[in-house]
Amino acid sequence: MDEQAVREHADAYCAALVAGDVELAAKELSDELRANLGQLVAMLPMPLTTAKAESLERTASGFRAVLHLVGETTETRLETRWKNRDDRPVIVEVSHLTEEAVEAVEDPEAAEPEA
């Protein structure tokens, strides 16, 4: 398992989440995490508007990736731990790092003109 393989799987996980395809995203999870999928989904700011692997680093036992997930009203960062299972990288642990409200973007055309 190398950094490129983990990055590809992290990107696939993020893409599946943005697409709303939890079943596809679950393919990147260990059997233990899939057994508790509801708890993991509850950590996500659904529906997601964007998701990306923000950082990736090697650890003593695998890789650590921080995922930045942005929903319509909140954004969160999740720390994911990846290990080699059945000759491919899978997420074996997920924890919340931060959660913040998404600032509403003001539509300049919706503002009333000043007199």
pLDDT of residue 92: 98
- Kindly report the pTM of this predicted structure: 0.84
pLDDT of residue 93: 97
Low-confidence residues in the chain, pLDDT < 50: 110, 115
pLDDT of residue 12: 97
- Separation CA 72–CA 81 (nearest Å): 26
Query: Where are the chain's structural domains?
Result: 3-101
Are 17 and 10 in contact, with CB atoms under 8 Å apart? no
pLDDT of residue 109: 54
Look up the CATH number of domain 3-101: 3.10.450.630
pLDDT of residue 115: 47
